[in-house]
Structure 1
Amino acid sequence: MVSVTSALVQLLRLDLESARFTVTTLTELWGAEADAALHRNERVPALRALAARRRDSDPEASATLATLFVLGLPVTHDDLVAALPNLGDDGAVELGMVDVVGAEARPLIDLRPYSFVDSHGAGSWWIASDLGELVLGRPLGEEHVLGVGGASTTLSGLMMQTPVGRVLDLGTGCGIQAMHAARHATHVVATDISARALELAALNAELNSIHNIEFRLGSLFEPVRGERFDQIVSNPPFVITPRVDGVPAYEYRDGGMEGDALVEAVLRGAAAHLTPGGVAQLLGNWEYRVGQDAFRRVGGWIDGTGLDAWIIERDTQDPAQYAETWIRDGGTKSGTPDFDRLYNAWLDDFEARRVTAVGFGYITLRMPLAGDPSLRRLERMHGALGTNESGLGVHLASVLAAHDWQKVRDDEELALSHVAAAPDVTEERHYWPGDEDPTAMLLRQGSGFGRTVRMDTALSALVGASDGDLTIGAVIAAIAQLLEVDVAELLAELMPRIRSLIDDGFLIPVDESE
């Protein structure tokens, strides 16, 4: 049990700061190769590097803390006391961080530094979670509280960072999304079905001096019944798990529903908890079933909610791949009887619903400020995006605002408006050797989703001339004159493509009051 005692947590913070217990320090301790190995759940290279340092001198405080809380190995009682001079061994025991047995201290939690960059600049925290299977030497317990993983960083990168009043973090886990939201929100409500998760999340908030988060126990939207929020973020327990005896129901990933019903419940429930203009962002899985396209099913979940929706599928797995991924995630090793038993349970479950594949992706929902929904995008973007996912939140906010800007303008009004090519946009041309005219012209996006659009001569000329000085109509009129075509016909041809480029972030509205 983790005890969040403010005075003790402040002493722990002093010790971590004094030890320079940061991502940079740990990389310096054991090197980039060992750091990469740790991300693959292998600690031998880091141990060898620390052993080499120890031969030359007594261990630094950072090395002791890294050995204990990152690598999950015991240290001597004397080294613990030296590394935590303010908190001391008694304080570490009271906080539930270690178990001291004789001359040895053993870790009870995972505690490691975490660094990031968002629209507010660079930041760093310390994040506590439960010990993983590498340390435990066995599969995880069902009440395991996960630390910062790939899904966590994906969602935090997607999170829109526009200043808002109230944010709901649904299924907070170790609290990482709530902490990110606290940087741009006045107040954050973080919920979870796990009391253990809320304890660790509260410890993390206190340890990092974040005081605008309120923690509530309960499932899905139950703890916030009747309340509305300007933003909802959620890395929900969306993993599709067989509902049979003998299959672990991990609280951090299993919502207790059949198939992808948990994601459906969150999508349908969000509308009752968003303020006008409020946005919900989450990750999720959805099933492809025989004779059914997954996006047709997901679109049906949104029907009738009154919400704008933008859903991006990033990957799919066949049932066998999906089962293997999540059985290993729980710490069960391949080739063991338990692995084979669980594997059969997963495949039986998928066969019962005639599932052929499982999709994974990003979901953005929005309550319109007024009127009916104006946005319904369901896209598949498999493979690398060609850009860093950590900055997608800023891009999403920007293109949603641009969509709203162009949506309220008819073609005549849009023609009188000003746009400019986004600063990350480049043009690429391909020629057959010796030809003067290009065989292909491509418009490429350097950030955001890294999209590529094929262009013809007219569209290329329009994008090239869009610097915000002339109206769209004036640019098209000049192009029509150069190409010796009818202005009205060219305007009608280009306007839908211009709207699409605005929606995708290639062209950005220019404030005409400036």
Structure 2
Amino acid sequence: MSDTLPQFSSEVCARLRDAFRAARYDADGVVGVLGAQAHAALGRGEPEPARRASRDAGALGVLIRLFLLGDTEPTDAVRTALDPLALDDALGTGLVRPGDGDGLRAGFDVRPHGDEDTSWWVVSDLDPDQAGGPVSPDHVLGVGHASLSLVRATSRRPVGSVLDLGTGNGVQALHAGRHAGKITATDTSARALRLAEATFALNELDVELLRGEWFAPVARRRFDRIVCNPPFVVGPPRVDYVYRDSGLSGDDASALLVRQLPGFLTDGGTGHLLASWLHVRGEDWADRVGRWLPAGTDAWFVQRDIADPALYVGTWLRDAGIDPRSAEGRAKSGAWLDWFAEHDVEGVGFGFVTLRRTDEAPTVVCEDLRHAYDDPLGEEAAAWLDRVAWLRHHADDLLDATYRVPDTVALERVDAPGDDGWTTTVRRLHRGDGPGWTHELDELTATLLAGCRGALPMADLLELLAAAHGEDAATLRNAARPLVAELVRHGMLEVCR
């Protein structure tokens, strides 16, 4: 554990913000100096193109090399770049520290982070490459791929209150500030709360900060939205690093969150979280996560990846700056893999969970979504909940509604050569936006959907289809109900009226 906690006063943060603004050390400014290629290389962990591109960029170049590349910069150059923040104050807070020779280097990772409309600064600890070795147990992680994926998977519809559970560096709360009236952020780590406080002060965001484990700091309170990037790494019950290890065995941390989170939501409130689950020999993962849910909870589990246990262990060791080939790495790998073997773990699933508190019969869906797609999942999650609610209220008159196939949906055909020419072997409905859902269809269903242009109710289309193809209308109606529900849920049929 770190001996002392960092202290960034409001005055230090205000002067640092002024320095950053003067130098244009923001998301657009950094990309503007580096260019797309060098910026992309930096994201891959290749700093040299960024180092070259920033050479003649004045104060902005100094800040890029200092905070983003981890370089040692001349003391006078750092003093100028941080003005009006006095160098003594920067040294006193640990923002910068002595580097190689007579220069200075960053004591914390302070980097611009933005979306399509806003740029912020996020304060975290230096990563292993910048720090020059393994991180400390109370290490505060920067904005990584998991954080960004949760940002993209969270609904941005306006709400009154948001809880950022396990805030870490505070990035989820920053995004919540765009659509929430009040934000509460918690963490079990005093260091994380101190750095999150600096993040919020730098960005002039008012956030209630509370310390404690899980939901204890907000007992008997409810929120319109809860977002959580938890310590979801699965394995033996231990805590090597607080940002990733819960101290609970296996996937119990994810199970605890799913079980308890709905109880802290307002009626109709939603939760968005990352989670991991074990793939155990002889058990379906959907059955496993479904058992975690409390009553009265709509749930959408989206599995984005399944990791082989050996690959999983190696990835997380390297994430903490531990070489799997070292004595420490071999010992930890062995214990971890032994635990997986003892518990019949064949893989580790990872993905997003969307929850909604409801007083009606809940809908629970577990889906694989391991293919690549570009659109953020957050709006899709919100729309999924809308469609689920509509389906729940129209289960009895589902076929009385009028539908249309959205313009973003196309029918793909795969034809194979035969004695009489080309024969269609696969008909696949593909949604080009959102998560890119696909559904394979037979010829009759493709003909039915071709008529879904918002003119006739589905029941009438089924009657016409039965008459045209010599099919029994009642049989077609029974077969159509689950299909229509599935296509509506995936946004491949829109309700017109």
TM-score by length of 1: 0.89
Aligned length: 490
Q: Is the 8 A contact 1:477 1:487 kept in 2?
A: yes
Provide the rounded CA distance (Å) in 2 between the counterparts of 1:217 and 1:274: 19
Q: Is the 8 A contact 2:228 2:274 kept in 1?
A: yes
Deviation string 1:27-65 (CA, Å, 9 cap, x unpaired) is: 443444433332233323333444xx35xxxx5111000
- Structure 1 unaligned segments of length 5 or more: list them: none
- Determine if contact 2:235/2:340 at 8 Å carries over to the other structure: no
Tell me, yes or no, if the aligned pair for 1:77 and 1:100 is still in contact at 8 Å. Answer: no
Contact 1:234 1:283 in 2 (8 A): yes
Distance 1:289 1:493 in 2: 34
CA distance in 2 between counterparts of 1:241 and 1:44 reads 36
Counterpart pick for 1:291 among 256, 279, 282: 282
1:112-261 aligned at under 5 Å gives the runs: 112-117=111-116, 122-211=117-206, 213-243=207-237, 249-261=240-252
Cα RMSD of the aligned pairs, angstroms, is 2.3
Q: CA deviation at 1:139?
A: 0.5
* d(CA) in 2 for partners of 1:438, 1:151: 41
CA distance in 2, matches of 1:2, 1:456: 63
SS of corresponding position for 1:470: strand
Separation in 1, partners of 2:152, 2:401: 32
Distance 1:475 1:94 in 2: 74
Identity fraction in percent: 37
Aligned residue in 2 for 1:439: 425
1:456-495 equivalences in 2 (<5 Å): 456-495=442-481
Q: Which residue of 2 aligns with 1:273?
A: 264
1:436, distance to aligned residue in structure 2 (A): 7.4
Shift of 1:130: 0.4
Contact 2:307 2:347 in 1 (8 A): yes
Deviation, structure 1 residue 241 = 4.2
Offset, 1:263: 1.0
- The answer to whether the 8 Å contact 1:69/1:112 transfers is yes
CA distance in 2, matches of 1:95, 1:418: 63
Of the three residues 9, 27, 33, the one matched with 2:13 is 9
Match of 2:482 in 1: 496
- Matching residue's letter, 2:480: L
Instruction: List per-residue Cα deviations over 1:400-448 (Å, max 9, x = no partner).
Output: 211211221134x223323222232111123345757643321101122
Q: Is the 8 A contact 1:157 1:393 kept in 2?
A: yes
Could you tell me how far apart the structure 2 residues matched to 1:262 and 1:75 are?
Answer: 42
The answer as to 2:299 corresponding to 1:313 is no
- 1:505 is aligned to 2:491: yes
> What letter is aligned with 2:211?
L
Match of 1:93 in 2: 91
Unaligned runs of 5+ in 2: none
Q: Tell me the distance in 1 between the aligned counterparts of 2:75 and 2:354.
A: 49
Q: Which residue of 1 aligns with 2:106?
A: 107
Q: Supply the distance in 1 between the matched residues of 2:248 and 2:484 (Cα, whole angstroms).
A: 43
Deviations 1:272-319 (A, max 9, x none): 2122211112111112233333332222222x4332221122211222
Q: Distance in 2 between matches of 1:354 and 1:459?
A: 42
What's the CA shift string for 1:128-168, capped at 9, x where partnerless? 11011111111010111011100001111110122212211
Which segment drifts farther, 345-354 or 139-148?
A: 345-354
Contact 2:141 2:169 (C-alpha < 8 Å) held by counterparts: yes
| Alignment-derived partner of residue 40 in structure 1 | 44
Give the drift of 1:94.
Answer: 4.6
Q: Does the CA-based 8 Å contact 1:279-1:364 persist in structure 2?
A: yes
> 1:209-254: CA deviations, max 9, x gaps?
222x21110110110111111111111001124346xxx6111111
Specify the code of the residue in structure 1 equivalent to 2:132. Answer: G
2:351 matches 1:361:
yes
Does the 8 Å contact 2:140/2:169 carry over to 1? yes
TM-score (norm 2): 0.92
Q: Does 2:395 align with 1:415?
A: no
The residue number in structure 1 matching 2:24 is 20
Amino acid at match of 1:379: E
Alpha-carbon distance between aligned partners in 2 of 1:492 and 1:293, rounded to the nearest angstrom: 28
Structure 1 residue matching 2:317: 3-state secondary structure: helix
Structure-1 separation of matches of 2:423 and 2:315: 50
- The secondary structure found in structure 1 opposite 2:16 is helix
Contact 1:332 1:339 in 2 (8 A): yes
